[in-house]
């Protein structure tokens, strides 16, 4: 039976890996192409300003929670936006806040 040693000792004894050989193994011998150049377009559409989010904890009816979760999962599978619980809730709450004068 082999001599027991600590995990730290085992990691120290690990030999150096040849990065070329490692890349050939990972990419199955295919020549590694140069990474694609990232071109930033200055004519790209400007993104909306970042919105800070805070944690909000509340309790809702069980049937609402199940329906909301189901809607979220089905929309994620179909690739339909909004599909996260957060985005769905924000989209649902915003009209109420506007119509009652809480946000401009």
Chain centroid offset of residue 38 CA: 21
pLDDT in tens, 63-81: 999 999 999 999 999 999 9
pLDDT of residue 9: 83
Whether 68 is in a domain gets the answer yes
pLDDT in tens, 15-50: 788 888 888 888 886 655 555 566 566 665 667 778
Spatial separation of the C-alpha atoms in residues 41 and 98, rounded to whole Å: 35
**Domains identified in the chain, total number:** 1
Whether 22 is in a domain gets the answer no
Per DSSP, the residues of 16-47 read PPPHHHHHHHHTTTPPPPPPPPP---TTSPPP
Whether 72 is in a domain gets the answer yes
pTM: 0.51
Spatial separation of the C-alpha atoms in residues 67 and 47, rounded to whole Å: 31
What range does the domain containing 85 cover?
Answer: 62-99
């Amino acid at each position: 039976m082999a001599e027991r040693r600590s995990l730290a000792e085992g990691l120290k004894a690990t030999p150096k890996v040849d990065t070329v050989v490692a890349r050939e193994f990972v990419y199955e011998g295919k020549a590694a192409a140069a990474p694609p150049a990232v071109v930033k377009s200055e004519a790209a559409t400007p993104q909306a300003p970042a919105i800070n989010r805070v944690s909000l904890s509340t309790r809702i009816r069980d049937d609402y929670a199940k329906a909301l979760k189901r809607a979220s999962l089905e929309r994620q599978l179909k690739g339909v936006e909004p599909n996260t619980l957060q985005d769905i809730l924000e989209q649902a709450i915003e009209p109420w806040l506007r119509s009652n004068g809480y946000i401009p």
